[in-house]
């Protein structure tokens, strides 16, 4: 099942309700789906753009407004976490001192 122009219009109407000081939101039809783009406004360093998709069945759900808000917030969280350039998990640990 592919998304329709009506699904795109629905997502765009939802995005118009959100304004963020750091992020821009856009929606387009891409490969038969509604693709939502989250992009950092004027980043001080280059960062990637985040994309997620709204499935047609989700757009047709009577609770779409709330489900979309949750999806948007979850994706914003993921986007900011993906911006880490270093975490304790990707640091090379110093060799242990095994001298007795």
The model's pLDDT over 61-76, given as tens digits with 9 standing for 90+, comes to: 999 999 999 999 999 9
Domain tally, the chain: 1
CA–CA gap between residue 85 and residue 81 (Å, rounded): 10
Flag whether 95 is in a domain. no
Flag whether 13 is in a domain. yes
CA–CA gap between residue 96 and residue 20 (Å, rounded): 45
- Helices 64-82, 5-15: axis angle to 10 degrees equals 70
DSSP state for residue 94 in the 8-state scheme: P
Between 20 and 85, the more confident residue is: 20
- Cite the DSSP H helix spans in 16-63: 56-59
- Look up the domain containing 45 and give its range: 5-82
Bridge partners of residue 40, in order along the sequence: 23
Reported pTM? 0.83
Flag whether 88 is in a domain. no
Flag whether 60 is in a domain. yes
Flag whether 52 is in a domain. yes
Query: pLDDT digits over 14-61, tens only?
Result: 999 999 999 999 999 998 899 999 999 999 999 999 999 999 998 999
């Amino acid at each position: 099942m592919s998304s329709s122009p009506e699904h795109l219009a629905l997502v765009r109407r939802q995005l118009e309700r959100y304004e963020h000081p750091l992020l821009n939101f856009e929606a387009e039809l891409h490969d038969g789906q509604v693709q939502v783009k989250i992009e950092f406004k004027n980043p001080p360093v280059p960062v990637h753009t985040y994309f997620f998709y709204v499935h047609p069945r989700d757009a047709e759900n009577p609770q779409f407004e709330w489900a979309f808000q949750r999806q948007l917030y979850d994706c914003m969280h993921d986007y900011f976490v993906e911006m880490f350039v270093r975490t304790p998990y990707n640091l090379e640990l110093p060799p242990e001192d095994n001298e007795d």
